[in-house]
Structure 1
Amino acid sequence: MFLDDIPLPRGNAAIWSSITVMLASFTYMFFSTEVKFIVQEIMFQLFLSFVTISVLKLCEFLEEYRHIPSRYKSYWKALNASLDLKKNGCGVVFSALFYYLLLECKNEDIGFLRSLAWEISLSCFCYLFLKVFRFLDPTPAEISEICEKNHFNVAHGLAWSYYIGYLKLILPNLEERIKKYQHISKNIPEYKKKWKLYILIPFSCKIHDKLEKMDSRIKFFGNLPELCVDRAGIKARSYKNSIYSIYDQKDKIHYCILEYATPLRSLFEMSNDATAAFSKEQRRQQAKLFYSTLKTILNNSVECTGYFRLIPYDDDLEEGKIDSHFLTTTILDHMQQEGMEYIVPEQTTWEESSNDSLSSEEQLMISKSDDPQPLQSMNY
């Protein structure tokens, strides 16, 4: 299905392919000329590269130098931010050592020194020319890789904020609040063994305040008891969750706790604000990364295990190409995958159903698979 479009974490294919090309190049040179000449040329080219890169980094440092008072507070921090001394220290040391050895061997050869100066000047000119005209700017793929591996994406921050500021609070208390609601309302079935919070994740990031308007087969049933927590200076901050009745094609009712992943609204608003410079395609990619990041976070959360189910879906289609009951079909598919659900007729009260809980009108739907599944594997 469309879940094949979910981006996988980036690996090291670029590094391994680069190593392969390096080995192939060295093999060609090895059979083309003497090894001594190959080593000399490789060391000379590396020397030129390190010197050129150092010059470029020093040019970048001149810009960062202006920001020492506001950004770095220290000359050394600004220099390290530009040159990345820890990462490139080996290259700088290698360049200095090789340069020293060259001078020791050729200190009387003025022609060699002039040739070396010419090569360095030419290399710096070409490299800086490419930099000035932006040929060395990172590609979109490189920027994306840097952001993903260093957790710079908008989606990464939103997912962690959603988990820490909301899901981590309400999910561990979900079962207790359900029991309170069942005790108070008397009209919600107890036979559902495991209640979960179903979280809708539309890749279009279109969040509707009323699910009933999105799909006529979805009806609001009631709110669970509020969870009140002292949070960020707010006394007894209130958190709510809603139960919905989902009608299938045979008008049977399926109950579930349902809501959108609210951070997606921020992504949608950003794409509609020119100052955010956030395109529709970027919004879609960030929504997918939000889903994959949130899934990883929740799957590694012990206190939240078994109390959630993520429902990602692609609703960013042209008008007329998406079914009017697409959302209920998607939700019911996920409910069926849970392996167990309780179905009651629309007007059956709790008192009536308790007399004949397994009558022909009320069925306990059990998964076809007889093998028990671990809760972790049931989380989507």
Structure 2
Amino acid sequence: MFPDHIPLPRGNAAVLSSILVMVASFSFMFSCSKASIIVQHILFHLFILFLSRSIQKLCEFLEECRHIPSRYKNCWKAFAASVSLKECGSGAVILILLCCLAHESENDHVDNWSSLGWKISSTCFCYSLLRILGFYEPTTAQISAICEKNKFNVAHGLAWSYYIGYLKLILPSLEGRIKEYHRTFENLAEFRGTWKLYILIPFNCKVYDKLEKMDNRIKFLGNLPELRIDRAGIKERSYKNSIYSVYDENQMCHLCILEYATPLRSLFEMSNDATAALSKEQRLEQAKLFYVTLDNILNNSQECAGLYKLIPYDDDLEDRKMNSHFLSTKILDNMVQERTEYIVPEENTWDETLNDPMVSDQALMISESNDPQPLQSRGY
């Protein structure tokens, strides 16, 4: 499924394509006309484009004027939000250059003032007609690109809320709570290499309350000791994490701390509520962006480093070729990967060297004298 089904940041393909079109167009014009005519026509069409944009900005400004008290507080902020000063400056420069060329070429067979005025008037009429018909509304791809660039997506807010309001609180204390649980039940030492929180991220946003209903090879074992934090006026707010037994095809038990990413349920509920106006396709896109954003946040978090594992999957894509145990299989695959990559920690709760006869037979000899003594080994 990966990486083809994970959206990547948009690149510069559109800009490069525009450059190719510019080069091809200029080459054709240069082969057919003189340089002065080419410059005049380019300036004229640039001016027309800036004029059409100005009409669009003016219409938007008139709409924003209705919201000055509630959104902008003054007229200048509304104007700055609707009109780009860069575009205004560029348009003014192009207009001055166009006027100079038109004045110098009145007797040439190029556009004069009367034809220039007629073309501007016709362009304004055509642009206004096309705007009324909706041809200048941004496309879905443009809206998506703007939202991703400026962090306006629902997924972006959900991912940050999930991290700041939950993961950043519970992950730093996860290992300590696992050790406390182990002192009571002594059944977690075997999975020291997977002492982390496994977070399920289904792209269809179907979050089940009981994992056993999703896969009968996953069994609830117990809860880690609660984490209690004073939070937002709530005294000793409780945070829990659950331990599950995940069985492989040979009925061998593997323990892990497992849960869904709960913000995905919000996306699912939004897609089922007409007032949220979130379609199934948009929900899928937001779920993928949620995973990408959360992964990026956690990768840059020192507090959560090495304490989590994201498990993204798409039920709708995999359902055609998977059996009823696809979830347990996917979890076990990630656990095997974690064990393979696991490095022996600096501080062990058990000393494996005590079982080594070559090591246990040694003794540390300390001299009672403060004077230097010669080095010697036992038996010599």
Q: TM-score, normalised by structure 1?
A: 0.84
Aligned to 2:374: none
Q: Structure 2 matches for 1:141-152, cutoff 5 A?
A: 141-152=141-152
Residue 25 of structure 1 is matched in structure 2 by: 25
Give, in whole Å, the separation in 2 of the partners of 1:108 and 1:38: 17
| 8 A contact 2:40–2:101 mirrored in 1 | no
Match of 2:230 in 1: 230
**Aligned equivalent of 1:64:** 64
Bigger Cα displacement from structure 2, 202-211 vs 226-235: 226-235
**AA at the equivalent of 1:4:** D
- In the TM superposition, what are the counterparts of 1:99-138 in structure 2 within 5 Å? 101=100, 105=104, 112-138=112-138
Q: Which has the greater radius of gyration?
A: 2
Q: Cα–Cα, structure 1 residues 280 and 265, in superposed 2: closer, same or farther, change >3 Å?
A: same
Residue 92, structure 1, aligned to residue 87, structure 2: no
What is the CA-CA distance between 1:252 and the residue it aligns to?
Answer: 0.7
Residue in 2 aligned with 1:271?
271
User: Which 4+ residue blocks in structure 1 deviate beyond 4 angstroms?
Assistant: 102-109, 317-321
Contact 1:204 1:316 in 2 (8 A): yes
- Deviates most, 242-251 or 95-104: 95-104
**Residue number in structure 2 paired with 1:350:** none
* TM-score, reference length from structure 2: 0.84
1:93 partner amino acid: A
Describe how 1:1-380 pairs up with structure 2 within 5 A: 1-85=1-85, 87-98=86-97, 101=100, 105=104, 112-189=112-189, 192-316=192-316, 322-340=322-340
- Report how far residue 95 of structure 1 moved: 3.7
Offset at residue 291 of structure 1 (A): 0.8
Deviations 1:22-66 (A, max 9, x none): 111111111221111111110111112212221221122111111
Q: Any conservation in 2 of the 1:163–1:294 contact (CA below 8 Å)? A: yes
Contact between 2:200 and 2:258, CA under 8 Å: does it hold in 1? Answer: yes
Structure 1: runs of 5+ lacking an equivalent: 343-353, 358-380
Deviation at 1:89, TM superposition (A): 3.6
User: Is 2:224–2:240's contact at 8 Å kept on the other side of the alignment?
Assistant: yes
Deviation at 1:106? Answer: 7.6
In structure 2, C-alpha distance between the alignment counterparts of 1:193 and 1:74, rounded to whole Å? 59
Q: SS at 1:31's partner residue?
A: helix
CA contact (8 A) 1:177 1:225 kept: yes
- Amino acid paired to 2:250: K
8 A Cα contact 1:198 1:257, kept in partner? yes
Check whether the contact 2:102–2:112 (CA below 8 A) recurs between aligned residues.
Answer: no
Secondary structure at the aligned position of 1:67 is classed as: helix
**Match of 1:221, SS?**
strand
CA offset digits 1:194-226 (Å, max 9, x no partner): 411100001110000111111111111111111
Distance 1:29 1:102 in 2: 18
Aligned-partner Cα distance in 1 for 2:191–2:326:
27
- What is the identity, as a one-letter code, of the residue corresponding to 2:315? D
Query: Residue 230 of structure 2 contacts residue 236 of structure 2 at CA under 8 Å; is this kept in 1?
Result: yes
Alpha-carbon distance between aligned partners in 2 of 1:4 and 1:48, rounded to the nearest angstrom = 41
Distance, in Å, in 2 between the alignment partners of 1:321 and 1:194 is: 28
Report what 1:364 is aligned to. none
Q: Which amino acid aligns with 1:146?
A: I
